[in-house]
Amino acid sequence: MIINPILPGFNPDPSILRVNTDYYIATSTFEWFPAIAIYHSTNLKDWELITHVIQDDTILNLKRLPSAKGVWAPCLTYNHKQKLFYVTFSLMYSHNARNFDVDNFVLTAPSIYGPWSGLIYLHSVGFDPSFFHDDDGRQYVVCLEWELRNGPGRPGAIVLQEYDGSTQQMIGPLKRISNGFTRRGCIEGPHIYKYKGLYYLLLAEGGTGYGHCVTLGRSVSIWGPYEGDPENPILSASEDFDELDNDYYLKPHQYNPKAFLQKTGHGSIVETPDGKVYLAHLCARPFTPELRCTLGRETALQRMYWTNDGWLRKKGGKLPDLFVEEPEEDADHILYQETGKQSAKRIKREREDFESSCDIQFVSPRCSWKRFASLTERPGYLRIFGRQSLCSLDEVALVARRLISIQADVRCAMEFIPTDFRHSAGIVIYYDNMNHFFLRLTRLIPEAPPQLMLTQIENGQRKETEGPFIEEGKVLYLRLTVHDRELRFFWTQARSAEDNVEKSVWHNLGSIFDVSVLSDEYCTTGEFTGTFVGIACVDTLNRHAYADFDWFEYREGYSLS
């Protein structure tokens, strides 16, 4: 049984691909680096993060980009004639005053692990570009053309243009091929497929919020016209509606309590070797009643099938399923007896000891962590050199991983001697530069010992909770726990990192906080991303201060022991 979401936590805009017996999914990374996450599976059930497409931050400058800009909607395809992987994506700079300033690029590689080519510029007409490699060797790029003019065409149409691989340039006319197949508006995320000689155009409509859906159309020619599926949308968590000119993408009034997975849309299709069809799509799991999605937009998978008259349907109806049969399961249905709630009884531990490498799950905002951190300065530790505050849009010394459950226990062991109030290091839970919590060690008074502080930045407003003075020369253990919507912070000390922290007494710092404030719906400065947990060091004096982290541990599940 496949349990959704298959990629929990911040993993939106999935593009799924099969090459032989290997399945891959590419997801958006926005301002986080390295860019374009690639997951791998051999059974569609078990997925592993295996690489990132762009790992050199000198070829992709994300610095000073606002939250939720950067790398949007990668599309992963494979050209069998060329034996090359293709990844297209949008580099979004801003959408101030509805001006979507964006460039679209493609990269190619002979292996999913690279080496990837440099960025090949396509155009800047809109966002969500997707490649289609036709049987005759011709190649096409389909994307959303952004429309600034007022009228029924907003926010834009789906456009198609041919690509010349020999010159690496777009050629021929840019043609509008679809205005969508429903009256939900906000069309985006196009992909073209071919089935039994017909071209199929898969779209996302309704905005990437609670009105999101997947729609389908088909044509005898790749240039259209495309006939819409008479039962569109083919997947949606919401009931049908008509809001063609509604620019508010979240649409909370379209929330459907019957669906456990919300915001379902932005889909892509994959076929197994024996002809079974699955649809990967983004989704979200909100806290209610506020409808706040702290984990961000995640990736789920649905079992589909082709009808006799050539349309795509989801088994069991249009609502997204939490439990989906695996490819080898022959049952016509699965008994859905689970509640879908995440269990706190099972504790799964993932520990990074920083012995010789840093886990692939660790990323940083806007630049590579290798710019400010080292595994060799003190072997067996990750030494993080202080950089700008966590509110910066430039270079922030934060190493973090996705929060993938609302039952989580996160811990680290740190050695740090601050000498100034501008020095801080500690543990972080982070949505964006204007929304995060930082349990940090600093020195407020030069003559006094170091002191713990808990800093909360909520929509740009700063709140401080003073903690105790900390004895120098001891290892400091920091911890945060997420239990449903309750967020807590703890600390303890030991003589050395080898001491048994499990037997230590944890001291609480601060009150119980509401983790739901870290969400698209609550944050006013960001959107589209999700919550991360990690470790950080700040030095706004002279960039000389550093913190040594012996280990970082993420426990999926919750325990007060």
Catalytic residue status for 395: yes
Q: How far apart are CA 71 and CA 37, in angstroms?
A: 11
Give the three-class secondary structure for 65.
coil
Count of beta carbons in the 10 Å neighbourhood of residue 411: 21
Contacts by 469-476, CB closer than 8 A, 24 or more apart: 470/441, 472/417, 475/413, 475/414, 475/415, 475/499, 475/550, 476/413, 476/414, 476/415, 476/416, 476/441
Give the three-class secondary structure for 262.
strand
Which residue type occupies 178? S
C-alpha 391, offset from chain centre = 20
Cβ-contact 532, 408 below 8 angstroms: no
Rg, Å, the chain Cα set: 24
In the structure encoding, which two tokens stand for residue 427, read together? 């543990």
Cβ-contact 355, 505 below 8 angstroms: no
Sign of CA dihedral 289, 290, 295, 296: positive
Q: Which of 33, 131, 121, 158 is nearest to 74 (CA)?
A: 131
Q: Of the listed 243, 325, 326, 395, which one is catalytic?
A: 395
Which residue type occupies 107? L
Residue 257 region by backbone torsions, left for phi larger than 0, else alpha for psi between -120 and 50, else beta = alpha
Cβ-contact 280, 323 below 8 angstroms: no
Residues taking part in catalysis: 395
